[in-house]
Amino acid sequence: MKKRISRVGVAMFVVVGATMLCVAAAAAKTDRAAATTLRIWTDQDRKASVTQVANAWAAKTGASVEIVVKAFPPTQDLSKAQSATAPDVVLAPHDATGALAADGLVQQIILSKAVKKQLPAWVLRSFSYGGKLYGVPTQIENIGLVVNTKLVKVPKTWAQLEKEALAFKRKSSDNLGIAVQQGSGGDAYHMYPFFSGLCGYVFKTTKSGALNPHSNGVANAKFLKNAPMIDRWNREGLINSKVTSGTAQTAFLNKKAAFWMTGPWNSDTLKKSGLSFRIIQVPKIKCASVPFLGVQGFSVTKFAGDHGVTSLAKDFVVNYLTKASSQLALSQASGRYPANTVAGKQVHDSVLAQFGRAGVGGVPMPNIPEMASVWTDLGSAWVNSTKGAGATPARRSFATASRNIATKIG
């Protein structure tokens, strides 16, 4: 009897165990099936192109995609997101990278050598934080120097640019030397090509590629040595801090300025202007006069791990969004230059292509939170030293800005 009960017990255990295994297997199968949908957050402007690219990827992998439209930048809602509705992949402006990585909201990604060959190092730095990569850059925007070729020759050197701009300015009291916007609040972004051209920089980069917020170069020795050039530009009226975005644009369109500093957001304005123009990078002053870069791309979020789709998300971001075809589609939808160099060569929009070439070697706006302590003081340094009569000597203006920034960062 005991043997029989024992056998019945074993048999029941086997049956129950088998049933449990079947249920577990079914649940696992269900989980695997559920874990083939990738949720992507993008904005309205890129919805169509992201949907097109994502569906093409899904068709090849057998996965499915869910596109969710958010106000730009979609990353602003990431910290408040609930896992059930959170994205696996998110459209991100590069300057949010530091905060997102520090908060553990995005995952590190690794690119192959073949992919890196098509994405310049100076662009990849945009999504790097602490020496690691947290996103794939897909689109770039930067300012360039727009030259009215009917009024002046396209300058090849800084000396030529300065000479032609001043000669044009002297023709009429209404003319501007270089139409670059500042205004009372300053504009460190639009002034950056002049800043970098005088060998200025914001944060020093460590050997690992990380930005050191405690070592700012706003008043570094090379820049201070070149700073008296700003005082000369102020005396000559080459640059005037009273010029705003509106006055700069109006002056160029009305042929009261032969040189205008602007970006691809004004492409349609330029195309409709009827003016003959070329867009170039500001010629080297003492160092390369490169612009700040604003870069947009895509990151894999921590929620992809919660949803069991990390490998799918990384395949989409790392292996598909880096392709020239994908980046060209995103570029055409956004009116921004692709990060992929092969895609860049396929841009047929002449104005956009010229802006893209003007950004070569550019500096991604620092993506660490401490950058918030830089904008105001760096912009003010330019305003104070280029406001005409009563301007503060540039060496003093930028030295003060550097101290203020260091104090704010601590």
Nearest to 332 by CA among 341, 321, 320, 344: 344
Nearest to 208 by CA among 114, 130, 319: 130
Q: Which pLDDT belongs to residue 31? A: 40
Length of the chain measured in residues: 410
Is the Cα torsion angle 159, 160, 161, 164 positive or negative in sign? Answer: positive
Q: What is the pLDDT of residues 67-83, one digit of tens each?
A: 999 999 999 999 999 99
Pick the CATH number of 36-140+295-349 from 3.30.360.10, 3.40.190.10, 3.30.230.10, 3.30.2130.10: 3.40.190.10
CATH topology of domain 144-290+368-409: D-Maltodextrin-Binding Protein; domain 2 (3.40.190)
Q: Which pLDDT belongs to residue 21? A: 40
Q: What is the pLDDT of residues 104-115, one digit of tens each?
A: 999 999 999 999
Q: Which segments of 315-370 does DSSP mark as H helices, in order?
A: 324-334, 341-344, 350-358
Nearest to 99 by CA among 349, 372, 310: 372
Q: Which pLDDT belongs to residue 26? A: 40
> Residue 232 to residues 56, 187, 196, 197: CA-CA distances in angstroms?
56, 20, 17, 15
Nearest to 381 by CA among 364, 362, 402: 402
Report the alpha-carbon distance of residue 313 to residue 54 in Å, rounded.
Answer: 11
Q: What's the pTM value of the predicted model, to 2 decimals?
A: 0.88
Cis bond upstream, residue 393 (ω within 30): no
- The 10 Å Cβ neighbour count of residue 180 is 28
Contacts of 186 (CB under 8 A, 6+ apart): 241, 376, 378, 379, 380, 381, 382, 383
Domains 36-140+295-349 and 144-290+368-409 are alike in CATH topology: yes
Domain boundaries, the chain: 36-140+295-349, 144-290+368-409
Report the alpha-carbon distance of residue 400 to residue 402 in Å, rounded.
Answer: 5
Contacts of 348 (CB under 8 A, 6+ apart): none
What would the two tokens of residue 126 be?
Answer: 């945009």
Strand partners, 278: 147
Report the alpha-carbon distance of residue 159 to residue 144 in Å, rounded.
Answer: 18
Nearest to 291 by CA among 304, 280, 299: 280
Q: Which pLDDT belongs to residue 207? A: 83
- The 10 Å Cβ neighbour count of residue 342 is 15
Residues (pLDDT < 50) of the chain are 1-34
Q: Residue 211: phi, psi to the nearest 5?
A: -85, 135
Q: Which pLDDT belongs to residue 280? A: 98
Q: Which pLDDT belongs to residue 303? A: 98
